[in-house]
Amino acid sequence: MTRQLASIKFFEKAIGWVAIIIVMLFLISFSTATSATPEAFHGSFSTVQNGQVQISIGRAGSSCPLYYRNHLCYRIPTEVVVARFLPPAKEVWKLDLYLGIFLSPSSTNIGLSLSVSDIHSSGSSLGTPNLRILGGCSTCSPSSQVIANASITAIAGTVTTFVPVSFNQVVHPDLQLHTTSYLSGFSVSGSTSVSLPMVVRCDHLSQLGHYPGCVIPAFIPEVDLSGLPTISKNIAQVQNRGSHLGQPGSGNPLYRNSGGADKAYNRQISCPKALKRPTGYECDEYPFASTTMGGGKAAPADRYVGWVPAAENHLQGGLLSTFFSTDRVFPAFTYGGRGDPFYVYV
């Protein structure tokens, strides 16, 4: 009997800790109702070494509050299960990991930050597991680096990775997050990896200015023309009727056209050169000539053409140019095509 007890104790010490499960539930809904949702996470999971543990994936959770053209936050509900077989015991850790993605309109550096909140455990007390989280993308430099490696109760960290983009090239970095959970002193671990293949877009298009940059393309940005007294009043009149074209929240954004010939054609249709211009005034149209609905293509209730002070019109153009550059609003690549959508705030 004594020999049997000793044998059991030895067995417990040798293989008692057998499993760590990490289950990550990925958030796919976001708080900004006016914009489409970015590409969801796609999870792939490995089992623990001895194959005795099943791992599953689900979707749950409320949204992160942050979702802009250059900043996105994912809430990742995460569950780590630490199990002991002899004697049977289990501890379940639940927490929310927050992944922040920070972008710049004038560089292709991508900041990744991780933090944790709302952490609690239940069941037997079997020790505090650690998380080791790597982030990066296959074309990034570096392609993978440790964002955080710490106790599950204090996991946090920030890294910056660089996406090489050549002139006139567009790149969708396949951002990836690889998480391993482990207990100090034990070799058994659980791991999972997720990818965000189309969430971020980086470019160095010549039409968007001097510098390359990255954005969250699914977020539809707004250009603020509210400070232009005559023009904002004209646009507001159009937005408050018809299909509310271009009005934030309408679900009916404007789309940038290819510029160049597209823009010149629209200007000529709406503001023919033959029109006699009052001194100090310019012809202005909404939707803008630089959009697919310019040039009289919008329904009568959704368009406007009139004379506005030239200086105000130039400020409007400056604001549009700056907006297209800072929010990296893609032009259409072909004549008559459709580029990125945007709204106009007045």
Partner 1 sequence: MSMYEGFKWMDPWVSQHLTGSFTCVVTSITDTSKIFEVLGVEPDLDRLHGVAELQDGTSSEEALVGVNITSGSVWCFLADVMGIGLARVSELSQGGMAVCMSGNENSGVWFTVVRSRVILAECSLSDGGGVSGESPELLTQGIHEVGLGPSELEDGSNHPFATAAALVHLFTGVAITRILLTDTDFLVGCVPRAAWL
* Residues at the interface with partner 1 (CB under 8 A): 106, 206-211, 223-224, 227-229, 259, 263, 267, 271, 273, 275-277, 279-280, 282-284, 288-290, 310-326
Closest separation in Å from C-beta 259 to partner 1: 8
Closest separation in Å from C-beta 283 to partner 1: 8
Closest separation in Å from C-beta 231 to partner 1: 10
- Of 41 and 304, CB closest to partner 1: 304
Closest separation in Å from C-beta 101 to partner 1: 21
Locate all alpha helices (DSSP H) within the chain, ordered by sequence.
2-15, 229-239, 260-270, 310-326
- Of 284 and 340, CB closest to partner 1: 284
For residues 198 and 39, is the Cβ–Cβ distance under 8 A? Answer: yes
Q: What residues contact residue 73 under an 8 Å CB cut-off, 6+ apart?
A: 64, 65, 66, 67, 98, 99, 100, 101
Closest separation in Å from C-beta 201 to partner 1: 18
- Of 209 and 296, CB closest to partner 1: 209
Query: CA distances (Å), 63 to each of 20, 78, 216, 342, in order?
Result: 27, 14, 16, 23
- Of 65 and 278, CB closest to partner 1: 278
Whole-number Å distance between alpha carbons of 44 and 46: 7
Closest separation in Å from C-beta 272 to partner 1: 9
Residue tagged 């964002």 (tokens): 147
Q: What residues contact residue 245 under an 8 Å CB cut-off, 6+ apart?
A: 238, 239, 252, 254, 287, 293, 298, 302
Closest separation in Å from C-beta 141 to partner 1: 23
For residues 82 and 20, is the Cβ–Cβ distance under 8 A? Answer: yes
- Of 83 and 308, CB closest to partner 1: 308
The single-letter code of the amino acid at 179 is T
Closest separation in Å from C-beta 221 to partner 1: 10
- Of 280 and 300, CB closest to partner 1: 280
The interaxial angle of helices 310-326 and 229-239, nearest 10 deg, is 70
- Of 84 and 263, CB closest to partner 1: 263
Query: CA distances (Å), 290 to each of 29, 256, 298, 320, 339, in order?
Result: 32, 6, 13, 9, 10
Number of H helices, E strands in the chain: 4, 18
Closest separation in Å from C-beta 329 to partner 1: 10
- Of 16 and 105, CB closest to partner 1: 105
88-92 long-range Cβ contacts below 8 angstroms, 24+ apart: 89/123, 89/124, 89/126, 90/123, 90/124, 90/126, 91/121, 91/122, 91/123, 91/124, 91/125, 91/126, 91/127, 92/121, 92/122, 92/123
- Of 216 and 223, CB closest to partner 1: 223
Q: How far apart are the first and last CA of the chain?
A: 85
